Amino acid sequence: MSMEDDDDEALAAEWAAAMEDGDGDLDGDDDGGPDDDSNVGQPGRVLDQNEIDSLLGFEGDDDGDDTQGIHALINSSLVSYERLPMLDIVFDRMVRMTSTSLRNFTSDNIEVSLDNITSVRFGDYLNSIPLPAMLSVFRAEEWDNYGLMTVDSNLIYSIVDVLLGGRRGTAAMRIEGRPYTTIEQSLVERMITVILKDLCAAFEPLSPVHFTLDRLETNPRFATIARPPNAAILIKLRVDMEDRGGRIEILFPYATLEPIRELLLQRFMGEKFGRDSIWEGHLATELWYTKIDLRAILDQQTMSLRDVMNLQVGQTIPLNVTPNSNILLECGGVPMMTGKMGRLGKNIAVSVNKTVLKQSTD
C-alpha cells in the first residue's frame, strides 16, 4: 500500500508541473511556434462578451442597416427592396404630395420626409409596433390584396390637437392606457383617407390603383393581412409639425405588389426590357430590301402513287386551267396574292389583281 501511495503522489506532482508549464505558455513566456509540444492539448482562450455579440450579430446599433453574424444568415432569405427600384421614385413622389395635402388638411406647417424602405417579415413587424397605435387596413382594388398603415400615438395626439385648435408650442396631452375615443378615431381616419388618396396618385403613372380604407384597428392581432413568415416592404415616413409630429409606417406584403412586380423592376419610368426602338426601326427598314422567292402555281392535282410511278416519258398531264384562270402566288407555302397570267416582252408575267388574306387556322 505504501508503494501505491508513493506512485499516486508522484503522478499528481507530474500533472501539477505540466499545468504550470501550460499556464506559462498562455502568458506568452514561451517563444515556441505553433509546433511547440508544450501547446498540445492546452485549453483555448475564452471569448469575452464583445466577441460573442459580434459573432451573433448584435454589435452596433439596433437601427443600423448592416446585419452581421448569425443574424445575417437568419435574415438572408428576405428579398431586398432594392430589387424594386421604382418604389423609391413612387414614394418620393408621394412624400411631396402628402406634404401639400396635410398642410391643406390641417392649415399648419407640416413637413413629410421618407426615412427608409426596408424588407421585413410580417410577423416580426407586428411584434415590433409600439403600442398604443392605430392600424388601418386598406385594400388595393386592382391588385385584389391588402396593405397596412400604422400611425403612432405621437402623431395621433398631434393631429387631434391641431385639428381641434390646440395652442402651438405646447406638447399634446397624452393619457396612457386609455383607448382612443370616437372623435380621435374619426379625425385620424380622415387623415388616413387623405394619405391613401396621395398614395393612389403616386402609383398612377406606373399602374392605376385605388386604395380604400377597410377598417381601423388598435390591436395588431386583428390587423393580420398575411402569414407571419411572409416577406413585406416597410416604408417609414416622418411627419413634423414644428415642435410636434410622429411617424407613419406603410407596409405592403410582397403578394400585394406581385401584379406590378415587372413595373417595379424598372430603373426609370417607361423602361423597356429587352427592346431597343432604334434596332426595331433598323430591322423594319432592312426587311423591305429582303429578297424572297415567289412561286406561281398554275394548277394542283392529287394523284396516287401508282399513277405517278406509271408515268412514262412523253406522257402529257393536262392542267385544269384556261388563259382566264387565276394563278396563285405563294411564298414559303403561304398564299400571298392571285393574278392573271400573260406575257411581257419575252417573259411570262402575272398581273396581280387580289391580295389573299391570311385565313385563321382555328
CA-angle at 183, arms to 130 and 114, nearest 5°: 45
Residue 356 DSSP label: P
Residue 33 pLDDT > 50, yes or no?
no
Residue 10 pLDDT > 80, yes or no?
no
Q: How far apart are CA 233 and CA 203, in angstroms?
A: 15
Domain 81-264 architecture:
3-Layer(aba) Sandwich (3.40)
Query: Position of cell 508541473?
Result: 17
Q: How far apart are CA 134 and CA 152, in angstroms?
A: 7
Whether pTM exceeds 0.75: no
| C-alpha cell recorded at residue 112 | 413629410
Which is higher by pLDDT, 300 or 57? 300
- pLDDT tens figures, 305-347: 998 898 889 888 888 888 788 888 888 888 888 888 888 888 8
Q: Quick one: 129 exposed, middle or buried, by C-beta within 10 A (0-12, 13-18, 19+)?
A: middle
- Where helices occur in the chain by DSSP H, the ranges are 2-26, 49-56, 69-74, 86-106, 122-128, 153-163, 182-203, 254-257, 261-264, 277-287, 305-309
| Domains in the chain: boundaries | 81-264, 291-304+322-356
pLDDT band at 32 (very low <50, low <70, confident <90, very high): very low
Q: How far apart are CA 213 and CA 351, in angstroms?
A: 69
